[in-house]
Structure 1
Amino acid sequence: MRPSLLDPLFASASALPGVGPKTGKLLDRLLGEPDRPARTLDLLLHLPLSGIDRRARPKVAEAPIGAVSTIKVRVTEHRPPRGKGPYRVLTEDETGDLTLIFFRANANWIEKLLPLGETRWVSGLVELFDAYRQMVHPDRILDEAGLAALPPVEPIYGLTEGLFPRVLAKAAAGALARLPQLPEWQDEKFFRATGWLSFGESLARLHHPQTPQDLAPEGKFFARLAYDELLSHQLSLRLVRAKAQVLRGRPQISDGALAKRILAALPFALTDDQAKAVAEISADLASDKRMLRLLQGDVGSGKTVVALLAMAHVIEAGRQAALMAPTEILARQHFATLKPLAEAAGLTIALMTGRDKAAERRATLEGLANGALDIVVGTHALVQEDVAFARLGLAAIDEQHRFGVHQRLALGEKGEAVDVLAMTATPIPRTLALAYFGDMELSSLREKPPGRQPIDTRAISVERIDEVVAGLARAIKTGARVYWVCPLVEGSEDSDLAAAQDRAEDLRKFFGAQVGLVHGQMKGRDKDAAMEDFSRGVTKVLVATTVIEVGVNVPEATIIVIEHAERFGLAQLHQLRGRVGRGSEKSSCVLLYAGPLGETARARLEILRETEDGFRIAEEDLRLRGEGEVLGARQSGAPGFKIARLDLHPDLLRAARDDAEKLLAADPDLTGERGRKLRLLLYLFERDTALRLLRAG
């Protein structure tokens, strides 16, 4: 049960003073969700984006041009418009004149607001026109009483159509008045060291800022609330994880005999990072706690081999293993990599996708159900109801952020105490890994297997496309194979983006039948056939959309051209570039861009030319784009922080993680004095699922 102390915050925002039905509907649109209206709490946590400083009170002659000033003036003359011109009001003080300009304004309203001969305060942007100072549509026109109520810094909020700034500010003030007196849940020593104010005082200062610095995301008021949010998130992650581990765990013991056979069949030795990851995973599997580990590795770092060694461990312990990939191309690629190694170790392996023939599917289902199959690789077809395992012990999920939470969980539900290994080829900045996957242990593969060649990366203007095509012609004559990546499938009149189908037609004029095409709208069989032709060298140029972004492995491909590179995210460009440089030949990546480049696009292309380190690239991507984009929009199951900014608050996240770990080690059920206070915090940031798990025992 939510403590009654918090009830006022979970009441509808429509019940606040001055919020009528019309404003209530607008607040619902801005802050509500499909199944619930906006609440007082939503208004409190909807913090200003910035503020307008209204503290400057200069004389007319001293008012800085191009800045907001609040000036005391006397109204000397009204000049109604001639034709379609503006309405002008002449005002003055002892230092000079200021003309107030109104377009399409109601004359009666202006005369009432600015009576001749009266003194008024006007606040707005001062500009110079024909050497005269003017203010177009003043933000505020006030008498002395109005000036007394003018906030020194006016908060600027995110709005929705029809909702006016002052209406939202008034509603936020009403919400603040409903905030109860809350106990301090932060550690006393830490709290004193930061110099922060309380939760309520920090909220009040952000909704009623005294200086523009009060609203800085790095400032102490914002930091206090960001830390509260991050701490609530880290606590809930750990509580959920602890419950999952306590409820479900089963040691899986192996002496490594199968792993030795696989290693003997490998054409290369494991890198130090791979060996370390295998050791970490083996320790998890042998433990009586359920494994939940994220294996992240840069492009081509050898995650699939690590996953196979983990599978060998559980198979030796008498269980089965499954590897689920988000696309059919990727599932087939994994199967092709794993099959020879698995069979060399005497393991049985099958592939399951949505396109299996009925007889194939029946045989696979039977093998999984009776235990004859050790390993299955597949798409989300693996989580369909009719798929049953005899004794599933390990669920490996590749590119796990591409699955919804329910799909990720569903595979683990196909057995008892199933250990979970999630994998991603998108290196995740440490900050994001803590926030989004803080319930998982983390293994990272930074080293490339021996023999990988560096990739020569160049940015070239699309105006030089003829030179690029001529260069490809020379390379193809020497046996090279080329990817050409486009952002769209087919052209449209309102888009200047190169389209894959159009580009394939263009390139066929030069290279004829040597040009293949693959994109996400093709049927699975056609996609596979196009990939197979390219892999076998039947086609030399493969025009593709980002369907080839992950998992596609053709070592003979040594050139990739990425058209409209400026439109792709940095991590995505890095993933695409990773399709080449997979063999022993020198490889190159051509980033074709259409100018003029914006600052962010230019920075992206520069970083890509400078480095192939996916982890550095991920950190830069976070800095340039923020966390919502780095992981591919807002995913189901992602934290969706309201206040915390992971690009600005990484230190706060680390501190919150340490704090949560220490606290739960000492008070795992949050029943101590601070623990009881922190339960309020979990309700405030709606992380109370963890509390329900605690109650469920």
Structure 2
Amino acid sequence: MRPEALFDYFADIERLPGIGKRNRLAIEKLAGTRTRDLLFHLPTGLIDRRYRPTAAVAAPGSVATLEVIVEEHRPSQNRRVPYRVVCRDASAELTLVFFNARADYLRKQLPEGEVRLISGKVEHYLNQVQMTHPDYIVAPENAAELPSVETVYPLTAGLSGKILRKAIHAAIESVPELPEWQDPSVMAREAWPTMLEAVHAIHHPEGPEVLAPGSKPRRRLAADELLASQLALAIVRDRTRKKRGRPLKGSGHIRERILAALPYSLTGDQKTALAEIVTDLQSDRAMLRLMQGDVGSGKTVVALLAMAAAVEAGVQCALLAPTEILANQHLATIQPLAEAAGLKVALLTGRSKGKARKTVLEPLVAGEIDILIGTHALIQGDVEFKDLGFAIIDEQHRFGVQQRLALAAKASAGIDVLGMTATPIPRTLTLTSYGDLDVSRIMEKPPGRLPVDTRVVALDRIADVAAGVHRAVQGGARAYWVCPLVEESEQLDIAAAEERFASLKGMFGPRVGLVHGKMKGPEKDDVMGRFQRGELSVLVSTTVIEVGVNVPEATIMVIEHAERFGLAQLHQLRGRVGRGSDKSSCILLRTNEIGDVARARLKIMRESEDGFLIAEEDLRLRGGGEILGTKQSGLPEFRLVDFAEHASLIELARDDARLIINKDPNLETGRGKALRHLLYLFERDEGVRLMQSG
């Protein structure tokens, strides 16, 4: 149950003044429907109304507050001519300008002969000082209604800043202070305000410095959000660790055979990652590890050797991949090496039907298959192992918790699970999102890999690029041509790809293929297969080829409108070439007019092939929410954290969370009870539920 002190925080915003059914919908779209959502909807800037000059010296373009006497109303009969109200102070005249005005309303607001405080943007027009649609018109006795410093918020259609500000200020007044959950020594060292004081300071700032990510109130709130996240991960980690794994100690004889069959020796990073995974397998606690390796760094071979270690200890293994293309590719890499070492490997996908499916499922339950590679089809009810002991989940962020649990449920005793990803995730995001996992990183490229020559070319030279690709293809090369991302619509993406396909077909003839996300699996695989076999020379595609396709013969990658892609995505796409022994090139086509961030992004792509460096830069340029597309990546969304500015707080929160769980695993001390409030406030309460269910 949510603690009682939080009831007001989770109360519906409709109880706040000025919010009815209509603007509730607008606020819901913008921030959410509970009082806490408004508290965490942070301002993006300030309007300072403390500048109080006379009319004669008011600087044009500035926001000023003037005290004037209303002299004369000048209504207009012509709708195109604005309504004017002439005012003055001791120094000069000030004309107020209103379009589509209601005369009766203005006469009431601005009675002739009376004094008014007017605040808004000063303009000079034909040597006259004027103000169009002032923000505030206030009688001197109501001067308190005019804020000296006013916050500016992100808005949406149908919602004014005034209504939102009023609702936020009412929301702050409506909630109680909560018990302090931060460590007292940290509070003293950082001189942080309480959580509610920090919220108040940010929504009623004394100056722009309060809104900066480095201010004490901002750092306090970021520390709270990070601690909630790290504590929830630490609870999950603690509970999983307490589940017994089973020690899987192999003799090493199968691994030796695989290493002997490899045409190259492992890199230092591959050896380190393998040693870490094998140590986890041999321990009697459940494995919690993520193997990160850049595109083409040789993760699959490490995965095979890890599975061989588990098979040596007498259990079966599963490798779960997000797509059929990836599952087939893992099979192509693993099968020859595994079978040379005497291991039995099988594939199960959604396309394995009838007899083909039966020929996998029967030997699987009999224990005759050592390694099963497959897609979501692996976790269906009728798939039974004799003794599943180790599972590897490829591109882990594309599977939900439910799917991971369904896979773990296939094991009759304890199971070790290894996550694997080719998406380089910056260290700060790895800590915030996978803080419950140990991480092995493979940074080195296998020997013999040549760097990819990356060039940035303006789109108006697309004809030259196409001609260059044509010459290369005539010489036997193969090329990818990736079409741009169009807004948020897959339909438009496909239309762009079909158009480019048609134009290239005119140039290359029938040796051009097209793949996009709306094609059915078999159709897509057929085109991919023809490209892999060399029957097609050019593959036009939307971003569906991003992860995992392996065609060592492809040496050219063209990406149209590269400025629309994130860095991580460009890096993934570029990783499709440079996989063989031939020199490869990547051409980033960009529009002539691009912004500074896009320019910086393309410059990094030209200068570096280090996926982890690129991911860190992407984070710096774009912020945390966008970097992996939060929704698609399964990473939690953060509202108060600025990853570039608050990186030091991540380590602080992680260390604190681990200490808390070691000392007070059930959160029963005074601070522990306060921390339960924190978990509920930031909706990380799955941690509390997990504690209660044991």
TM range (shorter): over 0.9
Q: What residue in structure 2 maps to residue 7 of structure 1?
A: 7
Shift of 1:135: 1.2
Query: Higher mean Cα deviation, 194-203 or 406-415?
Result: 406-415
**What residue number does 1:183 align with?**
179
Relative to structure 1, the CA distance from residue 27 to residue 605 in structure 2 (aligned partners, 3 Å threshold; closer, same or farther) is closer
Shift in alpha-carbon separation, 1:48–1:367, aligned structure 2, 3 A: same
1:586 matched residue in structure 2: 583
Q: Matched residues in 2 for 1:73 and 1:275: separation?
A: 79
CA pair 257-224 structure 1, distance change in 2 beyond 3 A: same
Contact 1:152-1:209 at 8 Å conserved across structures: no
| Residue in structure 1 matched with residue 37 of structure 2 by the alignment | 42
CA drift of 1:687 comes to 1.7
Gaps of 5+ in 2: none
- From 273, 284, 287, the equivalent of 1:288 is 284
CA deviation after TM superposition for structure 1 residue 635, in Å: 4.2
From 445, 448, 466, the counterpart of 1:448 = 445
AA aligned opposite 1:369: V
Does 2:638 match 1:641?
A: yes
Instruction: Check conservation: 2:68, 2:88, Cα contact below 8 A.
Output: yes
Partner AA of 2:128 in structure 1: Y
Give 2:595's match in structure 1, choosing from 571, 594, 598. Answer: 598
Match status 1:340 vs 2:336 = yes
User: Is structure 2 residue 197 aligned with structure 1 residue 201?
Assistant: yes
How far is the alpha carbon of 1:51 from its aligned partner?
2.5
Write the letter of the residue equivalent to 2:514. L
Query: Are 1:57 and 2:52 an aligned pair?
Result: yes
Say whether residues 1:219 and 2:215 are aligned partners.
Answer: yes
Aligned residues of 2:238 and 2:661 also touching (Cα < 8 A)? no
After superposition, give the CA deviation of every residue in 1:392-426 in whole Å (9 maximum; x if it has no partner).
11221111222233223322222132211111111
Three-state SS of the structure 2 residue aligned to 1:8 is: coil
Conserved? CA contact 2:630–2:637, under 8 Å: no
SS in structure 2 of the partner of residue 522 of structure 1: coil
Equivalent position SS for 1:683: helix
Mapping for residues 366-385 of structure 1, pairs under 5 Å: 366-385=362-381
Contact map agreement 1:488 1:498 (CA 8 A) in 2: no
When the two structures are superposed, what TM-score results if normalisation uses the length of structure 2?
0.95
1:70 aligned residue (47, 52, 65)? 65
Structure 2 CA distance, aligned partners of 1:526 and 1:25? 42
Name 1:300's counterpart in structure 2: 296
- 2:346 corresponds to which residue? 350
Query: 2: distance between equivalents of 1:361 and 1:496?
Result: 35
Note the alpha carbon deviations across 1:428-459, whole angstroms, 9 max, x for none: 00111111111111111111000000111111
**Which residue is 2:521 aligned to?**
524
Instruction: Give the CA deviation at 1:593.
Output: 2.0
Q: Is the 8 A contact 1:488 1:500 kept in 2?
A: no
Q: Which residue of 1 aligns with 2:532?
A: 535
- 1:192 Cα deviation after fit: 1.4
1:35 corresponds to: none
Map residues 416-495 of structure 1 onto 2, 5 A cutoff. Answer: 416-487=413-484
Give, as a single letter, the amino acid of the residue that structure 2 aligns with 1:590.
Answer: I
Aligned pairs for 1:45-124 (under 5 A) are 45-83=40-78, 84-124=80-120
Name structure 1 gaps, 5 residues minimum: 33-37
Contact 1:326 1:380 in 2 (8 A): yes
Residues 268/637 of structure 1: CA separation in 2 closer, same or farther (3 Å cut):
same
Greater alpha carbon shift after TM alignment, 543-552 vs 479-488: 479-488
Q: Deviations over 1:460-483 (max 9, x none)?
A: 122212211222232223322211
Amino acid at match of 1:54: R
- Of residues 685-694 and 293-302 in structure 1, the stretch that sits farther from structure 2 once superposed is 685-694
The one-letter code sitting in structure 2 at the alignment partner of 1:108 is: D
Aligned residue for 2:630, secondary structure, equals: coil
Partner of 2:618: 621
Q: 1:641 to 1:103 in 2, by over 3 A?
A: same
* 8 A contact 2:226–2:641 mirrored in 1: yes
Q: 1:168 aligns with which of 164, 168, 175?
A: 164
Tell whether the 8 Å contact from 1:249 to 1:417 is kept in structure 2 after alignment: yes
1:249 corresponds, among 227, 233, 245, to: 245
1:6: how far off? 2.6
| Letter aligned with residue 435 of structure 1 | T
- Match status 1:548 vs 2:523: no
Q: Describe the shift of the 1:204–1:430 C-alpha distance in structure 2 as closer, same or farther (beyond 3 A).
A: same
User: Within 1, Cα distance between the matches of 2:418 and 2:127?
Assistant: 70
Aligned to 2:234: 238
Alignment pair present for 1:410 and 2:410: no
The separation in 1 between residues aligned to 2:127 and 2:294, in whole angstroms, is: 60
Secondary structure of the structure 2 residue equivalent to 1:530: helix
One-letter code aligned to 1:42 = D
Q: Which amino acid aligns with 2:48?
A: D
Maintained 8 Å contact 1:404/1:635: no
Shift of 1:675: 2.1
For 1:158 and 1:431, locate their aligned partners in 2 and report how far apart those are by CA, in whole Å. Answer: 26
Indicate the SS of the match to 2:536.
coil
Per-residue deviation, 1:18: 5.7
Amino acid of the residue matched to residue 336 of structure 2? P
CA distance in 2, matches of 1:139, 1:59: 18
2:91 alignment partner AA: T
Give the Cα–Cα distance (whole angstroms) in 2 for the partners of residues 181 and 590 of structure 1: 56
Task: Report if aligned partners of 1:236, 1:682 keep a CA contact under 8 Å in 2.
Answer: yes
Alpha-carbon distance in 1 for matches of 2:579, 2:18: 65
The alpha-carbon deviation at position 171 of structure 1 amounts to 2.4
Instruction: Measure the CA separation in 1 of the matches of 2:560 and 2:5.
Output: 57
State which drifts further: 293-302 or 6-15. Answer: 6-15
Deviation at 1:31, TM superposition (A): 4.3
The whole-number CA distance in structure 2 between the counterparts of 1:86 and 1:18 is: 30
Which amino acid counterpart does residue 514 of structure 1 have in structure 2? R
Q: Whole-Å Cα distance in 2 between the matches of residues 696 and 507 of structure 1?
A: 59
For 1:160 and 1:609, the matched residues in 2 are separated by 38
Alignment of 1:561 onto 2:551: no
Give the partner amino acid of 2:9.
L
| Cα separation, partners in 2 of 1:529 and 1:183, compared to 1, 3 Å | closer
Per mean C-alpha deviation after superposition, the further-off stretch among 137-146 and 100-109 is 137-146
- Which of 215, 236, 258 is 1:262 aligned to? 258
Checking the alignment, whether the CA contact within 8 Å between 1:151 and 1:208 is kept in structure 2 is no
Counterpart of 1:686 in structure 2 is 683
Identify the range of structure 1 (81-90 vs 469-478) with the bigger mean alpha-carbon deviation: 469-478
Post-superposition Cα deviations, 1:90-136, rounded to whole Å, max 9, x if no partner, equal 22222222221110010111111111121111111112222322211
Aligned residues: 689
Aligned partner letter, 2:664: D
Identity level (%): 57
Deviation at 1:228, TM superposition (A): 0.7
Could you say if the C-alpha distance between residues 488 and 61 of structure 1 is closer, same or farther in structure 2, counting changes exceeding 3 Å?
closer
Q: Cα distance, 1:147 vs. partner?
A: 1.9
How far residue 304 of structure 1 moved from its aligned partner, in angstroms, is 0.7
Q: Provide the rounded CA distance (Å) in 2 between the counterparts of 1:61 and 1:393.
A: 82
Matched position secondary structure for 2:292: strand
User: How many Å apart are 1:257 and its aligned residue?
Assistant: 1.9
AA at the equivalent of 1:95: S
Worse overlay, 494-503 or 664-673: 494-503
Give, as a single letter, the amino acid of the residue that structure 2 aligns with 1:401: H
What SS does the aligned partner of 1:660 have?
helix
